[in-house]
Amino acid sequence: MPFVFYHNPNCSKSCQALQLLEGKGVQLQVRKYLEEPLSLNELTHLLVLLDKKPSELIRQGEGLYKTLGLDQITDANQLIQAMVDNPQLIERPILSNGQQARIGRPPEQVLGII
């Protein structure tokens, strides 16, 4: 299965991770998830591959996080839906090979699954 790189070109860490992967010659499908948001099923599957709770994937420093009152929500399904509805809340970048995934924080973390 090809690698899928969930990318935000406006994020320096995402751009750094993409450069690292391209430098290693990794064949990638780059998905600009702000332009092509993840479905509920896709995000739920990605959380399983990452072995993360929704609270660990959501960008808590994003202004929208507090604006939406997500700091008061503990229900996992509500947090997942918030990320589906507002993809800028998803931590980035993420690399997946369909069987596992890594968040590129720091960017070198994505190299762990190639």
> Which neighbouring-strand residues pair with 95?
5, 102
pTM, full prediction: 0.94
Beta strand 94-96 pairing with 3-7: antiparallel
Active site residue 15: no
Tokens of 95: 């690399």
Tens digits of residue pLDDT in 39-94: 999 999 999 999 999 999 999 999 999 999 999 999 999 999 999 999 999 999 99
Report the distance separating Cα 6 and Cα 8, nearest Å.
7
Task: Walk me through the domains of the chain, giving residue ranges and CATH numbers.
Answer: 3-113 (3.40.30.10)
Q: Which of 11, 30, 34, 50 is catalytic?
A: 11
Report the distance separating Cα 50 and Cα 56, nearest Å.
10
pLDDT value at 1 more than 80: no
pLDDT of residue 46: 97
